[in-house]
Structure 1
């Protein structure tokens, strides 16, 4: 059977299999630990180490050599992978000691210990069924969560429960749903640098309403119970505690202030700090914690009339005790050290990579949000240390780091180890795409809206139908200077479309003012930018036939696609809405209330943005697609919109995906979704 792009895209999990990933760089720069599968169609990751002195790679752990059932995953591990959008198997996560000389991972619920220097692999006599396994900084103790309890074990497997609760709704050491899904906090416990204590969360989900997610294709199966904190409803009760391994004592941390969310915890040699956030997200506090008493003092506060943005990697303490965080000042997200901005207002900080004597961070120039690079701040200088010409992510410190670089010059993502002035390339087994993006990136209009336009590679000169292919929501860009971002879009272009991708207002990279233009309205400002580009499209690309315009998207992009054909059916003539939010009251607290407020206090923004209220305006073809096992954007969104459309007498199509969650890693599903969408667009646009 000859390969096609939809088939390749599906069996390679969007061309990501075979790439090195999940990097850890040793403090001395001698080793880089990472995972990678054996080929571009192999979903089983193995554990590797790269020796920087010799420039050689060595495989440490291949799950195929162990008698382990890789499908034997705990419910907690399945939820962790869903929150992380993890579609691979094998070694999907691991943790190292402070010197990166040993590591632990979980395969099929079983703990595995690996000596990174000798390659010795040991299976401690720890009963299976655990998740989130970690090593103490000194490497002598293994920690993990079993069900709702937090446990430790020596390297031989002698287990000790250090925190538990008799209440079924209480868990220790696990990140609650909202922390993992929306705040980027995937863990619920942190080791002290001296390996003598653990800071752990206690989470009680009793206040959260229970939703039930059933599998209609298998009525013999009981519905899955899911505690979902919908907008305007109760969140989990979260508290932080310090556990002494020597005495077994559990001391509550006294975090002051009226906070709702525990955003982050960091425990370094400079101390233990935690960041909290109010329910309306207009204030964050950083607390310095006395680990001997559990008392805490607020050392930093930031407020904003809209919301305070969370930035990955901060807050954190430098070895001398200086607090590193980020704040929106003068229209840009800036690196802040002890309360003072240290980066210019022309630079938008995206994430902080590491905090030591120097600070490594990722940023973009505000006038070119589609290009990101790594920077280093020290007390005497601010230096750009990469030149990606595209999109970059970095792991490590200023002296030794791994750079993952995608740009428009290379078909594949490049992985480079930097140690001082020496560079090494890591091997990637990712397949070369069967498409070659033919993309132009533009900044359009007085507000410099980022736009990518893709054309068929066969050089067609006739008028072509148009396909808008946005995401459009906060925290995600589609217009980036990276070929890997455009593979599926190019495939649609090669089928005879002018494909247009617009990063409308509210998307990241162009400064805090742009991001906040969606406050109280996630609909009209977003749609207005798409319309503005559509009206200018003939000048941007004369081959575009604006009498035949489709729009497709997933998640927020699905919401935008449905919104476009319902509110502006005069301009958008067909829509494909995958996993769309249709009524923001059905989405979670932390994300939704940041932009639309608390509906239990003021419901007006929710009414204004609900697609239910536009049901009678639909007069163009609309295809709704939804995974019935989705626990993030639940299928009720699509089903309730479908009911509203039916009540309004509006014909539409619904494609339910049995057993599919918010992501679609299943090969058959992923391949045929592309083909089905193409068929719908051709049928609808002619």
Structure 2
């Protein structure tokens, strides 16, 4: 979690009460009365959720799933003596890669809970050490690296009266449980499950009987590369139609009972809500992922855009109320407004910098590229800092003010900052996303070079002094750039980089590179370790030693290979830091450290 305090809450169906966890304690409150109180229960408390009728609250405590009554008593609904088995929590790859952050779901009438049972015993043990405090024992994690066993995940319906049933499907063929939901009370409380094959080339949506546990197919999809999991899908309209999104005719399209209802020049990004006879969803023009708009489909076949200003728009829907959040380039923060209603006040702090930004689409591939210059720049040539993420599932060159604040800070230090979203990034259609299938390096790096060269034809860029920085996949890309293309890139900062894909998790890595136990060639071709003897440019590796997502072994193994190859480089270990750096002091000093490294490495005035 990148924030502190209250970071999540849940309500009953009528949105009259809420529950939240704070420092492992349970708090409940009335949204009509405006009062809140602590409910002292056995803890620590994680992911508390009121039942739909607001009669009681379920929560996870350690490895068990518990029920809290409103008088403060609590009892155990599901637990296991085996320390490798958990109830009610999402497993690692579900939370990290499928965006399924929860592991239990109340039935519509509040009489039962569908809960995940996760058996982690097949998953290999890794240990995250604390080198700065040698007296501390290493922290054990179960990490399913590419080509190794995943946990065994099963789904059970647990009635509050003690009855239970296991929901059954072909788990050998479809081991990934990507989504679980209950249909509305009018549908007799049946379950809808999404399951996926290990190679992610096949997906099934299943109807589940909560009493017998029998499942039957509702929808199936397949793809020669992979089937994308689309946020908010599946969904069911009030009149019982199944809502999904899938790649058809080169674009991700909204499907109603299997039939496409959006055009092939629109890329659906997420489904927000399915109403009685309408669906609210997010999409962008297939040739422009710098924007995202809110759309509504109605059963008469009409598509209506609910937003039109260029920017990044999202929405949430509750009953007849739709709330839209809009971020644009020219204004800081975001505007939150009820559709056809009032604008909600914001008390967010104003940023200290304002992006001096131009967004272009370069070349025949229309590579989305943002160029940021120093405020008040006089037109003289500037050293360049490429600042990409560049990989799947994330965009950086978007029409949103706050997305570019860090890049603008670097620009104000005397750089022209170039941010490009090339092939493999989302929003640009099936072929664009699948250009990285079995090769996460070639097309990604080619598009960064192409965007840089195109920007230099329009802006005052000094191509003899080009640095690149990135984090996570962006860190991989930054290190890759100075190793493969030292003729273009002259220094790199690689933060939390994936350097050896065999060390990253199953669901993400096997989607793009396949299973290394079946074909190791893509892993060898995409690893940075064999490139160690090609490094001739300054490289700063930064890694949090407590990172349990991209573990510090990535940086340490690359550093070891570089040392063996006689390639000078720098390593900055971050003590007690995980994959990101939410600590304000660490984040601030890390930016200053990167700036000093880039100035020194690119031989800029004041950096020698």
Q: Classify the TM-score, shorter chain.
A: over 0.9
1:323 to 225, 242, 247: 242
* Cα distance between partner residues in 2 of 1:661 and 1:320: 46
- The residue aligned with 1:660 is 577
- Secondary structure at 1:540 match in 2: coil
Q: Which residue of 2 aligns with 1:122?
A: 37
| Aligned equivalent of 1:408, options 329, 333, 350 | 329
- Equivalent residue, structure 2, for 1:276: 195
Q: Distance in 1 between matches of 2:133 and 2:343?
A: 48
Match of 1:194 in 2: 109
2:371–2:455: 8 Å Cα contact kept in structure 1? no
- Select the residue among 364, 383, 389 that pairs with 2:284: 364
Q: Which one of 603, 609, 614 corresponds to residue 526 of structure 2?
A: 609
- Equivalent positions of 1:505-584 (< 5 A) are 505-541=423-459, 543-584=460-501
Deviates more, 1:174-183 or 1:353-362: 353-362
- Count of matched residue positions in the alignment of Structure 1 and Structure 2: 596
Match of 2:17 in 1: 102
The range that moved more, 150-159 or 94-103, is 150-159
- Alignment match of 1:350 (pick from 269, 294, 307): 269
Note if 1:335 corresponds to 2:254. Answer: yes
Q: 1:299 aligns with which of 218, 235, 248?
A: 218
Q: 1:501 aligns with which of 419, 426, 440?
A: 419
Tell me by how many angstroms 1:324 deviates.
0.6
Residue 250 in 1 paired to residue 164 in 2? yes
Q: How does 1:433-472 map to 2 (within 5 A)?
A: 433-472=351-390
Residue aligning to 2:606: none
Equivalent position of 2:136 in the other structure: 221
Q: Distance in 1 between matches of 2:513 and 2:349?
A: 42
Q: Determine helix, strand or coil for the equivalent of 1:93.
A: coil
Using the alignment, how far apart are the partners of 1:128 and 1:519 within structure 2?
44
3-state DSSP of counterpart to 1:501: strand
User: Quick check: 2:323–2:338 contact (8 Å CA) kept in 1?
Assistant: yes
1:29 is matched with: none
1:480 alignment counterpart: 398
Distance in 2 of aligned mates of 1:90 and 1:485: 23
Indicate if the aligned counterparts of 2:471 and 2:497 stay in contact, CA closer than 8 A: yes
Partner of 2:99: 184
> Matches of residues 12-411 of structure 1 in structure 2 within 5 Å?
86-246=1-161, 248-256=162-170, 258-269=173-184, 270=187, 271-357=190-276, 358-380=278-300, 381-397=302-318, 399-411=320-332
Secondary structure at the counterpart of residue 520 of structure 1:
coil
The answer (yes or no) to whether the contact 1:549–1:572 under 8 Å persists in 2 is yes
Deviations 1:5-27 (A, max 9, x none): xxxxxxxxxxxxxxxxxxxxxxx
Offset of residue 319 of structure 1:
2.1
Q: Distance in 1 between matches of 2:577 and 2:501?
A: 21
1:498-521 Cα deviation digits (max 9, x unpaired): 111110100011111100000000
Deviation string for 1:527-584 (max 9, x for gaps)?
011111223332121x100011000000000000000000001110000000000000
How far residue 412 of structure 1 moved from its aligned partner, in angstroms, is 2.5
Q: Is the 8 A contact 1:576 1:623 kept in 2?
A: yes
- Offset of 1:631 from its aligned partner? 0.4
Conserved 8 A contact 1:458-1:494: no
Q: Is the 8 A contact 1:372 1:388 kept in 2?
A: no
| 8 Å contact from structure 2 (residues 45, 61) kept in 1 | yes
Structure 1, unaligned stretches of length 5 or more?
1-85
8 Å CA contact 1:632–1:662 kept in 2: the answer is: yes
Question: What's the CA shift for 1:143?
Answer: 0.3
SS of structure 2 residue aligned to 1:486: helix
On the 8 A contact 1:351/1:363 being kept in 2, the answer is yes
Q: Report the Cα offset of residue 93 of structure 1.
A: 1.1
- Distance (whole Å) between structure 2 residues aligned to residue 89 and residue 536 of structure 1: 42
CA drift at 1:398: 7.9
Q: CA deviation at 1:397?
A: 4.8
Alpha-carbon distance in structure 1 between the residues aligned to 2:598 and 2:39: 55
CA distance in 2, matches of 1:559, 1:323: 39
CA contact (8 A) 1:521 1:609 kept: yes
Q: 3-state DSSP class of the match of 1:183?
A: coil
- Counterpart Cα distance in 2 of 1:434 and 1:273: 47
Please say which of residues 445-454 and 121-130 is displaced more in the overlay: 121-130
SS in 1 for 2:97: helix
1:431 has 2:352 as partner? no
Note if contact 1:557-1:577 (Cα within 8 Å) is conserved in structure 2.
yes
Is the 8 Å Cα contact of residues 256 and 296 (structure 1) preserved in structure 2?
no
Contact 1:361–1:375 (Cα < 8 Å) also in 2? yes
Q: CA offsets per residue over residues 213-237 of structure 1, 9 Å max, x none?
A: 0111111111000000000000000
Q: Secondary structure at the match of 1:118?
A: coil
Question: In 2 relative to 1, CA 615–261 (structure 1 residues): closer, same or farther, beyond 3 Å?
Answer: same
Cα separation, 2, equivalents of 1:535 and 1:312: 35
Structure 1 distance, partners of 2:193, 2:38, is 34
Please, which moves more after superposition, 507-516 or 526-535?
Answer: 526-535
Corresponding residue for 1:79? none
1:648 maps to which of 565, 569, 573 = 565
TM-score by length of 2: 0.97
Q: Identify the residue that residue 505 of structure 2 maps to in structure 1.
A: 588
Residue pair 1:354, 1:360 contacting (<8 A) in 2 also: yes
Instruction: Report if aligned partners of 1:415, 1:425 keep a CA contact under 8 Å in 2.
Output: yes
